[in-house]
Structure 1
Amino acid sequence: MLTRLAVVSTLVLSLAAPAYAAGPSQSATQTDVMTPASAPAKQQLMFTLRGGVASTPEYFGSDDNAIGADLGFSFNYLALRSGRTFGNPDPWADSMGLTFGGSFRFIEERKTDDFDELAGLDDIDAAVELGVSMRYGTQNFAAFGEVRRGFGGHEGWVGEIGADAILRPTDRLRLSMGPRLFFGDDAYSDTYFGITPAESSAALPAYDPEGGMVSAGIEFGARYQINDVWGLEGAVTYEKFTDDAADSPIVKQGSDEQWGVRFGVTRVFSIGG
């Protein structure tokens, strides 16, 4: 079963110790007026967690979906004692202009014994992808790009670009929809779409794909704010494999069209302040 976590977040934590100055001494004939020192700025961290369920393809190229957990994390706001701030203190507001952050995706293991149609192929361990993201947002439009490096199941590089049109029918409901393009290098493509001569069979002949565009698709998302801290969030995704990924025998015996659905509850947390 494949579970994706989009997610996207970068935190920088620092502490600044307040300084104290001793006032001049007082004598019996003079009284000094002490000016109170200004209080240091308060530290505050705000972030949002999402928990729910998701239906995703059992593996890349599968024509069956599986139900699993959907978890997500997003960074909202950080205020330091030095007075510097990052993000927006309103956790429900979209970031405007150009912003940078982290990028994360988790890919579950692919065990051949779980799928008769993949008999003969080697198992693939679970993989974690870590990287960076860049986003440009306005009130009704957003575009983003992400680059990640895989660890574990695959050691390749992947990237994704996309854009969204954003609608707000009410002050609590946010809708978004836009295209997605996904890319992977040779190492990524070999891991999930390649078949070595030792693994090959009559049903799954040897195949050595090259990197490039892996898939193109679209995502529709919705978010509803229940109150200041609770919300609902969901998305429907569709992608179609392209180029060498689409020609893989693994995909041809399954499906080159992949659907996903997720729905969860969100909760805003605030520490300090």
Structure 2
Amino acid sequence: MFNRSLLALSLGLFFSSSLSAHAQDGFWSGDWYLKVGATGFIGPKYDGASARLFQAAPLISFGRAGSAVRFSSRNDNPAFAFVDQGAFRAGVVGKLIFQRDEDTSKDLKGLDPVRFGGELGGFAEVYPTDWLRIRAELRQGIRSHNGLVADVAADGFVDVSDNVRLSAGPRLSAATSDYFDAYYGVSGSESAKSGYSQYKPSGGLGSLGAGAAITWKATEKLETSAFAEYKRLMGPAADSSIVREGGSRNQFLVGLSATYRFDFTLD
């Protein structure tokens, strides 16, 4: 509880001070962009599942026109940078979480649902070189779970032509026990109803993996991408009876995405 309160207080102080400072120096006036789009992919029905399903999700990003965003990934959750110094960016990030229950898969019958909600926190990214980005997100669950989730990714990227880019790199995810309990825990009553062995997870490393993408800038504002990702569940996630008895540690997905950029000006 102390760690979560400290995180919430730190984020609150950072964002409020940033908003106050930016309001005074006219930060909000000027040219901005909004990217909206969608991604469709074939992947596990839920984290830890062995069966696959076609799924779709929205893509949203917002920022100042002309800011030095050298690279972006479909794994980046919607974010806004209060600090943007070219080689370093930091700000607020959020993630929408959809309900997960037995309607998602019959394999989840008898387990408590993960409720519709989200995660809110901060992000930071750095470019050690012109072709490498390292990004980290730390998010607190809201309604869906009460845990802290940390995602770290490193992506190397190269432009093979004026409108085609290749990128690839490793991914890592970790979380506290409250997160793993919501997604991978099995209480006594859930065990009796679902048939899975009882399991109480701790916190720790959740997965290790890698991703790759080919991005094509079709027009100045329209961008499309084809991607493939693999992750192997680790620690508290891999040890869950939901994964061991009815799922798989190996999670693979492949898909396509497209975004369109809208430009506008704030006075």
How much does 1:16 deviate?
8.1
Q: How does 1:158-169 map to 2 (within 5 A)?
A: 158-169=149-160
Q: 1:122 aligns with which of 112, 116, 127?
A: 112
Q: 1:198 to 1:87 in 2, by over 3 A?
A: same
Gap runs ≥5 in structure 1: 1-9, 18-41, 79-85
How much does 1:131 deviate?
1.5
Q: 1:196 aligns with which of 148, 169, 187?
A: 187
C-alpha distance in structure 1 between counterparts of 2:152 and 2:255, whole Å = 20
Q: Partner of 2:130 in structure 1?
A: 139
Is residue 87 from structure 1 mapped to residue 67 from structure 2 by the alignment?
A: yes
Q: Partner of 1:101 in structure 2?
A: 91
* Secondary structure of the corresponding residue to residue 242 of structure 2: helix
Work out whether residues 39 and 59 of structure 2, in 8 Å CA contact, stay in contact via their aligned partners in 1.
no
What whole-Å deviation, never above 9, does each CA across 1:113-138 have from its counterpart, x for those lacking one?
55333332122212311211111123
Q: Partner of 2:140 in structure 1?
A: 149
Q: Could you tell me which amino acid in structure 2 is paired with residue 44 of structure 1?
A: D
How much does 1:259 deviate?
1.4
What whole-Å deviation, never above 9, does each CA across 1:67-116 have from its counterpart, x for those lacking one?
222211122415xxxxxxx824xx7x448411113323233212125533
Q: How does 1:37-76 map to 2 (within 5 A)?
A: 43-76=30-63
* Secondary structure of the corresponding residue to residue 144 of structure 1: strand
Q: Partner of 2:8 in structure 1?
A: none
Q: Could you tell me which amino acid in structure 2 is paired with residue 207 of structure 1?
A: Y
Q: Partner of 1:263 in structure 2?
A: 256
* Secondary structure of the corresponding residue to residue 111 of structure 2: coil
* Secondary structure of the corresponding residue to residue 140 of structure 2: strand
Q: Could you tell me which amino acid in structure 1 is paired with residue 234 of structure 2?
A: T
Query: Which TM-score applies when normalising by structure 1?
Result: 0.76
C-alpha distance in structure 1 between counterparts of 2:33 and 2:107, whole Å = 46
How many residues in Structure 1 have an aligned counterpart in Structure 2?
231
Q: Partner of 2:12 in structure 1?
A: none
C-alpha distance in structure 1 between counterparts of 2:220 and 2:115, whole Å = 40
Q: Partner of 2:5 in structure 1?
A: none
How much does 1:189 deviate?
0.8
Identity between Structure 1 and Structure 2 (%): 26
Q: Partner of 1:4 in structure 2?
A: none
* Greater Cα radius of gyration, structure 1 or 2: 1
* Secondary structure of the corresponding residue to residue 56 of structure 1: strand
Q: 1:267 to 1:258 in 2, by over 3 A?
A: same
What whole-Å deviation, never above 9, does each CA across 1:26-63 have from its counterpart, x for those lacking one?
xxxxxxxxxxxxxxxx7211122222322332112111
